[in-house]
Structure 1
Amino acid sequence: MKLKCLSFILLFLAGCNMPDVKTGKSLSYHFDAPAKIWEETFPLGNGRLGLMPDGGVETENIVLNEISMWSGSKQDTDNPQAYYSLAQIRRLLFEGRNDEAQELMYNTFVCKGEGSGQGQGANVPYGSYQLLGNFVLDYDYQDAADSISAYRRELNLDNAIATASFKKGKVNYGREVFTSFADDLGVIRLTADADRALNFSFGMNRPEHYQVTADGNDLLMQGQLPDGVDTLEMKGLRYASRVRVLLPKGGTVTPGDSMISVHNASEAILLVSMATDYFDKDPDGKVASLLANAEKKDYASLKKAHVAAYRSLFGRVELDLGRSSREDLPMDERLAAFNEDHNDPSLGALYFQFGRYLLISSTRVGLLPPNLQGLWCNTINTPWNGDYHLNINLQMNHWPAEVTNLSELHLPLVEWTKKQVASGERTAKAYYNARGWVTHILGNVWEFTAPGEHPSWGATNTSAAWLCEHLYMHYLYTLDKEYLKEVYPVLKGASLFFVDMLVEDPRNKYLVTAPTTSPENGYKLPNGHTAHICAGSTMDNQIVRELFTNTIEAAGILGIDSDFAGELSAKRARLMPTTIGQDGRIMEWLEPYEETEPHHRHVSHLYGLYPGNEISMEQTPELAEAARKSLIARGDKSTGWSMAWKINFWARLHDGDHAYKLLADLLRPCVDRKTNMTNGGGTYPNLFCAHPPFQIDGNFGGCAGIAEMLVQSQTGRIELLPALPSAWKSGSFKGLKVRGGGEVSAKWSEGQLTEAGLKALVTDTFRIKLPANSANMSIKINQKSVSLPVVDGMLVVDLQAGDQLGLMF
């Protein structure tokens, strides 16, 4: 897509004749009992640290997380012998002996060492993301036999605060918990409406590698994680957590050896400070400094500053899809009801905003991107090491960033990507004797770029190119040339790798990636064997074509590297185009192989439909129809993140009802309310997405899919309500963004667009696809009525930065 087309960026803001979005009740969900499983607890986070309270009455456990809490260490993972087998692997692939090529790769073309530990990397150099610990409160009630009534715990997305309240005997107890966006620590407030009725003790623990001591009236937990190299001595990351209790209305504090007790209070403020030495070489000093600053403030000031800082991000977007009679149900009951009857429009709006809440809560400028679980985990060996899987999962985590007006939350991924380049250059040389940089499926905080330990999934080599799509996407939404100058060398390096790595397939004369995969999917060979390794795949071609196109465009914008751009253009022309097979579907490989799993969770050959823009209803209708047939053959129900991806596919195909059907599948309650057993992909009671187990990418993919149903701009024009489902007959939104630096708002009734608004953040020409009911449309720019030509259903308007456009239909 040409930049000139992409710069049609419009912001439809309230203020441009747009009414406020009325969402009615606050955005929140609740339960009427304490959490029985971790997946019922509330996720709180400020991008660096996280708390997950379970709301227990007698004993409450709050899981503590810190975004950099990783075991492992940097290591040399490149196999120096790998390149010597590359020519033979390619020869076998070109002779159709793919199974033999794969077997050779098992022995030679893998990382050096133990790799990810087969997903159990806590004690190998690859490492694992881990919980920091558990904060445990034991409550002592004056009459333990008193009954509990009026129990309610709630997560409010408007202010990022979790609350719990209940009555025990004659005393009302209340709790508020938040992770401060302003003061960078956890804050817990405990109250009782009877004098001296608050009595409790608290401690900290984790499964291993920790020591807890009382330091005055503070409780301190410290430790060091294994680096995976020295198994006899802890030499890895150091961490610390310090808790301080404040009693504004009196009471006593009694320290013990490894716990603190509080007696005869009616209010207690607990400040929880955590840090590792990943970013701060003195974690003990860091936690102490944060506490010293926070304890100078009263609770009201801490809360006010937190809410203001959080809302500066969360408050940018509003969405109203209608009210529902089920809004007062506990979330587990509401999900169960939705599974039986999908008529609950406000649940879709809540889920959308929950996705934005999770992104705001799990990453922060200057820190790390969200991992497979955001920043929330409750184990040492987090599933799949809680790492950065690069064949879709880390990328999906960032699909909502631009369109839902959280553009700066893309930057941690940008910075993480830049840090992979040096290691990726060494890997490119070792395995492919290529210039530039490459990374494969596995990513961690230790710059691991080699292939994984098993070629069937670990040999995907287009991950760096996919990451570069995000680097360029951030530019398309911001048009920040200084930023583009900064990231252009990363795009160029990724392109340079493929300039060297692509090789001609003698069977068809196309340039192909060899060896490679279509991520994690296998196919049947004529000899009956199953293989994963191949020469070229449709996804590879789509991603490399996109990378070359973006790099060419970036070079043109910056006025540099014209010769290199010409070389990329010539290489791009020799890639196999996305091809329709005899069965009418998009071919997944360069040859018409039969997939071993027809309903495989990865749908990689449709990358060009989403998140790419190679396939569209307007510009490539035949490919769009083939993509539709491919999706039907693949099926709807799958793992959680796969269903989220399919929401976006169907939205791009302008089929809102099918996209909504996938959203309903994604929201299927996957935990049996009686046994607490998980069954298949869907949604946990606390709205976490189930792969299973929990993977946060499904939440982010679902959030992005809802936005995709409401606005699209990937074809160089803005289209409002391109995939509106019949379930959302009337509604409104404000603050969604489109490519080129704009923000859009809209209102509709009975499925028809009635009002729209736009603010241009850059001076440019903007294009809007108008709905069929636009014959009597009125137009205002900066509140003044104007007349503009409409050509072929397209409104074209020149705006200066800051201009506001309003449309009435």
Structure 2
Amino acid sequence: MVNYSMLIFIVLCSLKTTVMAQSPDKSLYFKQPAKNYLEALPLGNGQLGGMVFGNPNSERIVLNEKTLWSGGVQDADRENAHVHLGQIQQYLLQGKNKEAEQLLQENFVSKGDGSGRGKGANVHYGSYQTLGDLWINWQDTASAYSDYTRILDLDRGVATTRWKREGTSFSQIGYVSLTDDVLVVHLTASEKEAISFSLGLDRKENAETYSVDTDQLLMLGELPDEDTTGMRFASMVKIFPVGGELIQKADQLSLRGADECLIVLAAATDYDIDNPALRGADPKEEVLQVINDFKPNGAQARHEKDFGALFERNNFQLDKHESRVVSLSTPERLSRYAEGHPDSQLPVLYFNYGKYLLISSSQPGQLPANLQGIWAPEYQAPWNGDYHLDINIQMNYWLAEPLGYGDLAKPLHQFTSNLVENGQKSAKAYYNAPGWVAHVISNPWYFTSPGEGASWGSTMTGGAWLTEHLWEHYRYSLDTAFLAAYYPVLKGAAEFLSSVLIEEPGHQYLVTAPSNSPENAYLKPNGYKGHTVMGPTMDMQICREVFGNTIQAANILGEDQGLVDQLTKKMARLAPNEVGEKGDLNEWLHDWDDADPQHRHVSHLYGLHPYDEITPWGTPELANAAKATLLQRGDGGTGWSRAWKINFWARLGDGDHALVLLRKLLQPAAGDGTKIVMSNGGTYPNLFCAHPPFQIDGNFGGTAGIIEMLFQSHGEQETIRLIPALPADASWQAGEVKGMQARGAFTVDFKWEEGKVVSGRITSLKGRECSLLLPKGMMLINEEGATIVTNQLDGDSEVVFETLPNQTFSLMPL
């Protein structure tokens, strides 16, 4: 056996941390082990994930590797579907929606099984799957443990479990290293020779584990695919002990009588992100290399330095009013908050958790975060854990740009670009159109075909919606090199939409056809309940946005004047937003009733958020219609639906109603989250959002909603607005934000007291003209102390001023 004692003793002594109480705004705290994964603590570096249960008798850590998917590359397009397009469109023009939907179902859906109705683990589409479980089975468990705590420190990316047994204190520290690409578990005890356990690494199917040395386990596996060899994967775990004896068994390792130890795990698959049709590197060789390269000395310090640097890019604080929550577990705080008790730090904790989850599930060079981020214990994930393009993957990244995490959105940008090749084939197969299209669902194989059901699968603007994030990154960064690199993606989406528009007979508007308003149904005046339509409002809003973005991008880059002229003409003829008889915004081209008036999707308010063509100050009539729509839809819905509604109400400037939705989002979710239902969303004990079941988009959307309550910079002038939707609730009346990013390449810090801004700083990164809604009684000064502008009016005043690159301005009271 290799003797690591001297080296590891020095290493592990440097890793010891003192017992610390939870931080109410930056820690998840539990008083008992997790009963299921909805109480487990998530760790991750974007690619490798772990969920720590914290059981002192038999510890389970659920493992995930982001690229581990069943299924594979497939041709799901019906090559000649476009021959039916004209007839489907003709039916729609004639008002024969039933006939159009029937023909669409017969000839215009995906070939084969599609997504398997959301259960695609054993069909070509595939499903995201767990890598398996790491087990630490302690030897001496006859006596009970006591003094138990389990804490996830969000700012460090570290999960710590502590307990006592027979007078000996034990500590388990876990993290997934951003630096070293490994999961690390550090075990310590207050007494010598107190650490004895057996170590297992297993998976219920398609894998085999065996020991390769006294200190190493190796798991190898291959997932099934219908026609070809499936994805190969590997995981290796190695023990670095201080003292004790290592014992090798066929598929387990045992350590007896150690003082301390590190358990280090690596994982890999043979997935090639740029060309999934080809096999990547041998995963076995990859994990061997990672383990061999791992340096125990300073591992935790390296991870915490890199993780902390990301976490601290942005900071949000509310005044701390209640000290009593320090002793409460996270589930206790959720229950107490739902009962109406004050907890000023719970919204801050939720905000910080959103940051933490983004850092932990999305890093450059990877696939984007999926429906579960990276954390899924299943072999058949809900809805395959895939990429839904009609809200969910986009919502995952709403928080990235304003929090200064544009680099963490790179996986979404690259994923969008990688859809183009398949999307061009789908555009030809179904529409005989140029450009590219992606519909409602996608996966690591860049699936772009319609879904298998006409009622939901033919929404044609999923890919176009993704391009919004490309333009948004430019709006925040003013990076023309980025814009030039991704301009072909944006252009291709515009070319497709431009080519498929048809003229409707009522007003000669140009509209999309056929399409859906995502997952919703309408009632025609004759009583027919349907889904297939022409020109749903969201499609028209996305067309205006994509055309407008492409026109601006082309002008900035000096390209495609002919395309600019074409899009400008067609943009003027797109079906506009319309206010219905009930005062709400129409979801359909006609003023039809919703089959479900409180449906979870509110897609026709896309123009309010995330697009910004509807604003209270620019289009008050449409803003009022949007408000009427929200009141009709109500405050219920799934987790992510409630999160979206927070953003809507914040954009309308109604912080009190936004807080109502935030409280509903934070309501404790009932059950274990395994049953798939489409309502009663809330939050699980570990703060995972309940669709239900768990979907991470609600976490990210909720964080984005808090941002919109505190800070906005959208609209035609991209005017910076400070606390534009601050709730009247006492716990929100004083606070501070640092590191917020504004469109136009500005960084903004500000502080407020008694519900009013009292100080702030604006730094111009690129020297662009700045538009600011200057609070009343405040003035703006430059770095030399010269006054730029003052506001002595009774209300806030919009001011515009010139800036230079890296120039900072200060907000001060008059």
* Same fold flag (TM > 0.5): yes
Runs of 4+ in 1 over 4 A off after TM superposition: 23-26, 672-679, 789-792
Which residue number corresponds to residue 103 of structure 1?
102
- Which secondary structure state, in structure 1, belongs to the residue aligned with residue 377 of structure 2? coil
For residues 674 and 127 of structure 1, the distance between their equivalents in structure 2, rounded to whole angstroms, comes to 22
Task: Choose the corresponding residue for 1:183, options 180, 183, 187.
Answer: 180
- SS of equivalent residue, structure 1 residue 244: strand
Secondary structure of the structure 1 residue equivalent to 2:111: coil
Higher mean displacement: 42-51 or 282-291: 282-291
Among 149, 153, 164, the alignment partner of 1:152 is 149
The amino acid that maps onto 2:748 is V
Q: 1:264 aligns with which of 243, 247, 257?
A: 257
Mapped to 2, the partners of 1:495 and 1:652 lie a distance apart of 27
Cα distance in structure 2, aligned partners of 1:177 and 1:764 = 44
Distance between the aligned counterparts of 2:681 and 2:251, measured in 1?
Answer: 41
Indicate conservation of the 8 Å contact 1:126/1:228, yes or no: no
Give the aligned partner of residue 8 of structure 1.
none
The aligned counterpart of 2:277 is: none
Q: How far off its partner does 1:674 sit?
A: 14
Match of 1:495 in 2: 494
Match of 1:306 in 2: 303
Query: Does the 8 Å contact 1:624/1:653 carry over to 2?
Result: yes
Report deviation, 1:191.
Answer: 1.1
Distance in 2 between residues matched to 1:732 and 1:548, nearest whole Å: 38
What is the CA distance between 1:289 and its match in structure 2? 1.2
Indicate if the aligned counterparts of 2:24 and 2:349 stay in contact, CA closer than 8 A. no
Query: Which runs of 5 or more residues in structure 2 are unaligned?
Result: 1-21, 273-279
2:201 matched residue in structure 1:
204
Deviation digits for residues 321-355 of structure 1 (CA, Å, limit 9, x no counterpart)? 12233233101111000000152121111100100
| Residue in structure 2 matched with residue 13 of structure 1 by the alignment | none
> Which one of the candidate residues 264, 270, 273 is aligned to 1:277?
270
Matched, 1:251 2:252: no
Q: Give me the whole-angstrom Cα distance separating, in 2, the residues matched to 1:779 and 1:655.
A: 27
Amino acid aligned to 2:399: P
Answering whether residue 439 of structure 2 is matched by residue 445 of structure 1, we say no
Match of 2:723 in 1: 721
The reply on whether 1:808 has 2:812 as its aligned counterpart is yes
Q: CA RMSD in A?
A: 1.7
* 1:423-447, Cα deviation, whole Å (9 max, x unpaired): 1011001100101000100110111
Write the distance in 2 (CA, Å) between the matches of 1:807 and 1:667: 34
2:743 to 736, 739, 746: 739
Which residue is 1:640 aligned to? Answer: 639
SS of aligned partner of 1:251: strand
Deviations 1:79-120 (A, max 9, x none): 023111111111111111101111111111101111001111
The correspondence for 2:217, drawn from 207, 216, 219, is 219
Cα drift, residue 317 of structure 1: 0.8
CA offsets 1:256-288 (integer angstroms, 9 cap, x no match): 000000000121100001011114412111111
Answer whether contact 1:57 1:139 (CA < 8 A) is retained: yes
- 8 Å contact from structure 1 (residues 362, 374) kept in 2: yes
> Does the aligned pair in 2 maintain the 1:400–1:704 contact within 8 Å?
yes
The separation in 2 between residues aligned to 1:676 and 1:202, in whole angstroms, is 32
1:628 Cα deviation after fit? 0.3
Report if the CA contact (8 A) 1:117-1:126 is conserved: yes
Instruction: Tell me by how many angstroms 1:801 deviates.
Output: 1.1
CA–CA distance in structure 2, aligned partners of residues 751 and 429 of structure 1: 55
Unaligned stretches of 5+ in structure 1? Answer: 1-22
Instruction: Summarize the Cα distance change of 1:479–1:626 in structure 2 as closer, same or farther, 3 Å threshold.
Output: same
Q: Deviations over 1:716-742 (max 9, x none)?
A: 210100001122011111011110111
TM, length-normalised to structure 2: 0.93
Shift of 1:49: 0.3
Shift of the 675–87 alpha-carbon distance from structure 1 to 2, 3 Å rule, reads closer
Which structure has more relative contact order (CA 8 Å, sep 6+)? It is 1
Cα drift, residue 158 of structure 1: 1.1
2:401 counterpart SS class: helix
Q: Give how far 1:676 is off.
A: 12
Greater displacement, 526-535 / 778-787: 778-787
Which residues of 2 match residues 369-768 of structure 1 at below 5 A? 369-671=368-670, 680-715=680-715, 716-727=718-729, 728-768=732-772
TM-score (norm 1): 0.94
**Structure 1 partner of 2:8:** none
Aligned to 1:85: 84
**Residue aligning to 1:14:** none
Give the C-alpha shift of residue 794 in structure 1: 2.3
Equivalent residue, structure 2, for 1:168: 165
Three-state SS of the structure 1 residue aligned to 2:41 is: coil
Q: Is the 2:475–2:744 Cα contact (8 Å) retained in structure 1?
A: yes
CA contact (8 A) 1:420 1:449 kept: yes
The 1:675–1:181 alpha-carbon spacing in structure 2 relative to 1, beyond 3 Å, is: closer
Cα separation, 1, equivalents of 2:116 and 2:529: 24
Equivalent residues of 2:676, 2:692 under 8 A apart: no
CA distance in 1, matches of 2:99, 2:572: 30
Q: Given residue 264 of structure 2, which amino acid in structure 1 is its aligned partner? A: L
Partners of 2:528 and 2:714 in 1: how far apart?
40
Give secondary structure in 1 for the equivalent of 2:762.
strand
Deviations for 1:534-588, whole angstroms, at most 9, x for unmatched residues? Answer: 0110000000100000000000111111111010011111111111011100000
What is the one-letter code of the residue matched to 2:518? P
Deviations 1:414-463 (A, max 9, x none): 10111110110110011001010001001101111000000111000011
Q: Is the 8 A contact 1:71 1:228 kept in 2?
A: no
Report the CA distance shift for 1:149/1:662 in structure 2 as closer, same or farther (over 3 A). Answer: same
Verify: 1:794 aligned to 2:794, yes or no.
Answer: no
In the alignment, which residue of structure 2 is the partner of 1:5?
none
2:672 and 2:602 mapped to 1: Cα distance? 32
Partner of 1:62: 61
Q: Percent identity?
A: 45
Q: CA deviation at 1:37?
A: 1.4
Describe how 1:339-350 pairs up with structure 2 within 5 A.
Answer: 339-341=338-340, 343-350=342-349
Distance in 1 (CA, whole Å) between partners of 2:248 and 2:674 is 39
For residue 507 of structure 1, report the CA deviation from its aligned partner: 2.9
- Work out the CA distance in 1 between the residues paired with 2:530 and 2:673: 42
AA aligned opposite 1:409? L
Cα 1:370–1:675 shift into 2, 3 Å: closer
Report what 2:12 is aligned to. Answer: none
SS in structure 1 opposite 2:806?
Answer: coil
Distance 2:127 2:91 in 1: 36
Local SS of the residue matching 1:213? strand
**Judging changes above 3 Å, is the alpha-carbon distance between structure 1 residues 297 and 797 closer, same or farther for their aligned structure 2 residues?**
same
- Give the direction of change, closer, same or farther, for the CA distance of 1:674–1:96 in structure 2 (3 Å limit): closer
What does 1:93-132 align with in structure 2 at a 5 Å threshold? 93-132=92-131
Give the counterpart letter for 2:692 in structure 1. P
Would you say the 8 A contact 1:335–1:668 is kept in 2?
Answer: yes
Q: Deviations over 1:578-637 (max 9, x none)?
A: 110111000000111111100000000000000010100110011101100000000001
Structure 1 SS opposite 2:217: strand
Measure, in 2, the Cα distance between the counterparts of 1:665 and 1:489: 41
**Which stretch of structure 1 is more off in the superposition, 377-386 or 146-155?**
146-155
Aligned to 2:190: 193
2:388 aligns to what SS in structure 1?
coil
Cα separation, partners in 2 of 1:533 and 1:677, compared to 1, 3 Å: closer
AA matched with 1:226: P
* 8 Å CA contact retained: 1:368, 1:412: yes
Cα distance in 2 between the residues matched to 1:228 and 1:636? 43
Matches of 2:440 and 2:448 in 1, distance apart? Answer: 8
Report the counterpart of residue 784 of structure 1 in structure 2: 785
Take 2:425 and 2:196, find their aligned partners in 1: how far apart are those partners? 58
1:311 partner letter: G
| Contact 2:364-2:408 at 8 Å conserved across structures | yes
1:40 and 1:686 in contact (8 A); partners too: yes
Distance 1:145 1:397 in 2: 45
CA distance in 2, matches of 1:113, 1:229: 13
What one-letter code is carried by the residue in structure 2 that aligns with 1:224? E
Q: Which amino acid aligns with 2:44?
A: G
Counterpart contact for 2:71–2:124, Cα < 8 Å: yes
- 1:26 Cα deviation after fit: 6.4
Whether 1:237 aligns to 2:231 is: yes
Contact 1:671/1:677 (<8 A) preserved: no
* Range with greater deviation from structure 2 (333-342 or 382-391): 333-342
- How many residues are paired up? 774
SS in 2 for 1:310: helix
